[in-house]
Amino acid sequence: MADLKTNFAGLELKNPIIVGSSGLTDTVDKIIDIASQGAGAVILKSLFEEQISYEAYNTINSNETNEYPEAADYIKGYTKDNTVNDYLQLIKDAKKAVDIPVIASINCITASDWVEFAQSVQKAGADALEVNVFILPTDRNTKAEEYELRYFELYEKLKKEISIPIIFKISQQFTNLLGLLNRFNADGVNGVTLFNRFYEPDIDINKLTIKAAEVFSNPSDIRKVLRWVAIASGRIEGLNISASTGIHDAEAAIKMILAGATTVQVCSTVYQKGTGIVKEIVDGLNQWMDSKSFNALKDFRGLLNYKKIENPEMYERSQFMKYFSNHI
């Protein structure tokens, strides 16, 4: 049987399959179930910046929030159901209940004083902290580099507060994504997750209202991640990458590792098929490695990344016309 052990962001995992941050990981019972299916690690459901920041609580009584009762109801409901103390207790209880790494998660948009809360996460026993960051560039007068600078400011503040590994979960919406990842790596960020999945708006043309688009990822979404995993792993030596979005089965997980991913995160497929899919993916990875005579993940990780394939331009978008011009 193949050896599936891997090291991600300084953490020893028995295999590269991680169940991502979601409602699947918000109770100890769920985490125990996930661990029993053979997951290599689990990322807890995100705690939102608004739940941590004192300013967020204060806005409930502000004039601005009073003008938007929906916002007040959201904050009140969310903080009631997901308090900071409950989150810290979840970390403690999960660490006692399972023998796999338990990674905390914070969803944030600023580098404000909330970062001090990271110390509490560390004291509670979290093995690492995944920081889910997305700053929507809605200010037309703000330069692109100013938005990127906020990510590095956040990392510098966090690094002063905690010693556990810090993982940045980001989007692909950067002018020079490779440059951003290279600086993360140079600055000492322990790992990156590519990519986060957002709430996306849609329009109901019958009711003439805004509604949420499809929540779950599709298997085809793997293409959005595969390219950048392959390019980044091939161009940035030592970068630890956790591939996320569109990974619904063992085949997709294998593709991501061939592209250079250190680990892969599953979420939508677990919602749709149940936690048993975790075991199916782990078993499928094992069987495939045996069939190819790969003894360890290192034997094939990055085998087909940007650096190692004969024609790396296959990963470049500009090649679309070259390969498909006869069909369009």
Residue 15 near residue 41 (C-beta atoms within 8 A):
no
DSSP string, 15-75: SSEEEPSSGGGSSHHHHHHHHHTT-SEEEPPPEEHHHH-HHHHHGGGSHHHHT-HHHHHHH
Q: How far is CA 28 from CA 18, 21, 44, 67, in A?
A: 16, 14, 10, 38
The tally of domains found in the chain comes to 1
In a domain, 64, yes or no: no
Q: Say yes or no to pLDDT of 72 above 70.
A: no
In a domain, 195, yes or no: yes
In a domain, 18, yes or no: yes
pLDDT of residue 43: 98
CB-based contacts of 267, cutoff 8 Å, min separation 6: 19, 20, 21, 22, 24, 197, 217, 244
In a domain, 1, yes or no: no
Q: Which of the given ranges, 19-33, 108-122, 314-328, has the highest pLDDT on average? A: 19-33
Gap between the Cα atoms of 95 and 88, Å rounded: 11
Provide the CATH number for the domain around residue 26.
Answer: 3.20.20.70
In a domain, 203, yes or no: yes
Gap between the Cα atoms of 307 and 203, Å rounded: 42
Q: In the chain, pLDDT over 90 holds for what percent of residues?
A: 67
Taking residue 138's Cβ as centre, other Cβ atoms within 10 Å add up to: 6
Q: Say yes or no to pLDDT of 151 above 70.
A: yes
pLDDT of residue 136: 75
In a domain, 116, yes or no: yes
Q: Which residues constitute the domain of residue 37?
A: 6-45+82-327
Range scoring the smallest mean pLDDT among 1-15, 23-37, 98-112, 263-277: 98-112
pLDDT of residue 209: 94
In a domain, 50, yes or no: no
In a domain, 265, yes or no: yes
Range scoring the smallest mean pLDDT among 158-167, 172-181, 206-215, 301-310: 206-215
DSSP string, 97-121: H-SS-EEEEEEES--SGGGGHHHHH
The mean pLDDT value for 130-158 works out to: 88
- Return the higher-pLDDT residue of 58 and 311: 311
